[in-house]
Amino acid sequence: MRQLRYIFILSLSALIATAQEDIFDLLDEETESTQYTYATFKGTKLLNGQTNETPGKGVLQYIISHRFGSFTDEYLYNFFGLDNAHIRMQLDYGFTDRLNVGIGRSSVLKTSDAFVKYRALRQKTGANAFPFSITLYSAFNYRGARYTDGIDHYMSDRLSYHHQAVFARKFNENLSLVLAPSIVHWNLVPGPEDPNDTYHLFIGGRYKLNNRIALTSEYAFSSNHSYGSGATEERFHNPLSVGVDIETGGHVFQFHLSNTRAMSDPLWMAQNPYSAANGSLFLGFNISRVFTVKQ
Amino acid sequence: MKNIILTALLLSSTFVSAQQYLTREARLDFDAGSPLEDIEAFTESGSAVYDANTGKIGVQVLMTSFQFKRALMQEHFNENYVESEKYPKASFKGTYNEGSVAGGLTIHGITKEITVPARLDQEEGNYVLVTSFDITLADYEVKIPSAVANKISKTASIQVQATLKNTSR
C-alpha cells in the first residue's frame, strides 16, 4: 500500500515535470521587446498633406506631382485637364531615421519651398508601448510670381510659413489615420482686417486593399474662409481629396481627385479658392522615387 | 532504503530539467539576393532552446527584428513578402541527432518538415549551434511579383549561430 502511494506520488511528480517542461514553451517566454510600428503610410505625403513617415537614413527621395485642369474648364477640349497641368517637384533627404529635409518648386504662383520634418515619437508595441506617432513638420514658402497690384513689395511679403504636428496611428494592418493641427502664417494678407495666422486641422486616412494598393482620403478644417468683404471678398474652401496609392518597389504612385490645385502647403490648405460644389474638381498624381544614397 | 531510492529518483527528475539550454541572442542571417540586387538581413535577437536529454531543439525569431541595409527593403520585407503583421514569428521545432536537425520549419504561417545538417558542440558548458541551409520561398508561399522576379532569388540561404547557456545557471 505504502509502495503504491510512493509510486503514485512519483508518477504524479514526473507528470508535472513533463507538463512544465515542453522545452519549446521557453521560446515564447521571451522578455517582451519594444517593436516600432512600421509603414503606417506608404508615402511621406498622404495626398497633399503630410504623413508621419520620413524616407529613412541615407535615402534621397524625389517626388513629382501634377494637378490637372478643372472638370468645369472645357474638359474634353483640354484633354481631361491635362493640357492645363500644374507641377511641383520635391527633392528631400533623410539625414537620420528621424530627420528629413527637403526643397520643392511649384508652378502655382511660382512657389519655392523648403521644409524640415522630424519624427519626434514613434508608435510602438511590446515593452514601452506607445499608441501613436508624432512627427513635426515646418515649411516655408517663397512666392516667385510677380505681383500685379503695382506696389513695390518687400521680399518678406512673399514668405509664408506652415507648422504642423502630425499625429498618426496604424490601427491595424489596413487602417491608418492621421490628425494634424496646423498653423499657417502669411507675411502679407490683402487687407488690415484679414488674419495673418490661420489655424487648420488636417485629417486623413488610408485603407489597404492589398499589399500594394490602398485607398486614401484627406480633408482639412480651417479657421478662416475669406479675405475682405463685399464685392472684393475672396472665398476659400476646405480641401477634400480622395485617391489611391499604388506601390511598386521603389516607387509610390498616388492618383487622386481633389478640389485643390495648389501643392505647396499654405496654398492648398489655407487659400483654396475651389469648391467641389461648383464642379471644381481636379485629377492629379504624385509619384515618388527613393534612392539609397548612403547605406 | 526504499525511501533513499525514491528520493534519488525524485532528485534525478530535477536533474533532467537542468539539462535545458537557452539563448535570446541567437544570430540569424539570410540572403535572398541576386546578381542584380543585394538582399541581406540579420538579427541578433533570435531565441534558441535545446534539451540535452531529449535532443529537442527549437529556434524562433521575430520577423520585424531583421535588420536590412535599406529601410525601404526592410519595410517591403515585412509588409509585402513575409507579412509580419499576420505572421510575426518564424520558428523551427525539432530534434538534433548526430550532425543534423530534423523538424518543422514555420515561415509565413506555413510549416514544412526539413532535415538539414547542423553542428551542436559543447563548449565550456554551453552548446554552440551552427547551421546553414537553403529554403525555397515558394514552399512558404512568399509571393514575388513578376516585375521584380529577376532581382530576388527563388531560394533564400539562412544561417543560424547561437550559444545556448544552461538554464539552471
Residue B97 lies in a domain: yes
* Cross-chain residue pair A23–B58, CB shorter than 8 Å: yes
Of B25, B53, B28, nearest to B105 by C-alpha is B28
The per-residue pLDDT for A124 is 93
Residue B13 lies in a domain: no
Q: What would the pLDDT profile of A117-152 be if each residue is shown by its tens digit?
A: 999 999 998 888 999 999 999 999 999 999 988 888
Residue B70 lies in a domain: yes
- Rounded Cα distance between A202 and A204, Å, is 7
pLDDT over 50 at B135, yes or no: yes
Query: Which one of A94-103, A120-129, A227-236, B27-36 scores highest in mean pLDDT?
Result: A94-103
The per-residue pLDDT for A205 is 97
Q: What is chain A written as a DSSP string?
A: -HHHHHHHHHHHHHHHHHHHT-TTHHHH-PPP--EE---SSSSSBSSSSB-S----TTEEEEEEEEEEEETTTTTTTTTTTGGG-EEEEEEEEESSSSEEEEEEEETGGGEEEEEEEEEEE--EESTT-BS-EEEEEEEEEEE-SPPSSS----GGGGEEEEEEEEEEEE-SSSEEEEEEEEEEEES--SSTTS-SEEEEEEEEEEEESSSSEEEEEEEEEES--EES-GGG-EE----EEEEEEEEETTEEEEEEEES----SHHHHHH-----GGGT--EEEEEEEEEEE---
What residue has cell string 541595409? B69
Residue A152 lies in a domain: yes
Structural domain range at position B57: 19-166
pLDDT over 80 at A12, yes or no: no
Residue B54 lies in a domain: yes
Q: What would the pLDDT profile of A250-259 be if each residue is shown by its tens digit?
A: 789 999 999 9
- Rounded Cα distance between A283 and B50, Å, is 60
CATH number of the domain bearing residue B111? 2.40.128.110
CATH number of the domain bearing residue A84? 2.40.160.40
Residue A4 lies in a domain: no
pLDDT over 70 at A4, yes or no: no
For chain A, say whether B49 makes contact (Cβ under 8 Å): yes
Q: Which residues of A lie closer than 8 Å to B, measured between beta carbons?
A: 3, 6, 10, 13-14, 17, 20-21, 23-24, 26-28, 30-31, 33, 35, 38-39, 55-57, 59, 94, 97, 172-173, 211-212, 248-250, 290, 292, 295
Smallest Cβ–Cβ distance between A59 and the set B22, B60, B71 belongs to B71
* Cross-chain residue pair B24–A31, CB shorter than 8 Å: yes
Residue A18 lies in a domain: no
What's the total number of domains in chain B? 1
Q: What would the pLDDT profile of B78-88 be if each residue is shown by its tens digit?
A: 988 999 988 99
The per-residue pLDDT for A13 is 56
Structural domain range at position A198: 32-292
Percent of chain A, pLDDT > 90?
66
The per-residue pLDDT for A63 is 96
- Rounded Cα distance between B151 and B38, Å, is 9
Residue B12 lies in a domain: no
Q: What would the pLDDT profile of A156-191 be if each residue is shown by its tens digit?
A: 999 999 999 999 999 998 999 999 999 999 999 988
Of A87, A65, A74, nearest to A256 by C-alpha is A65
Count Cβ atoms below 10 Å from residue B86 Cβ, excluding itself: 9
A·B CB contacts under 8 A: 89
The per-residue pLDDT for A20 is 47
Question: How does the average pLDDT of chain B come out, rounded?
Answer: 88
- Rounded Cα distance between A241 and A263, Å, is 12
Residue B152 lies in a domain: yes
Q: Which residues pair with A243 in a beta bridge?
A: A216, A256
Q: Which of A24-38, A86-100, B31-45 has the lowest average pLDDT?
A: A24-38
The per-residue pLDDT for B7 is 60
Smallest CA–CA distance, residue B71 to chain A, in Å, is 6
pLDDT band at B114 (very low <50, low <70, confident <90, very high): very high
* Cross-chain residue pair B78–A212, CB shorter than 8 Å: no
What's the total number of domains in chain A? 1
Question: How does the average pLDDT of chain A come out, rounded?
Answer: 90
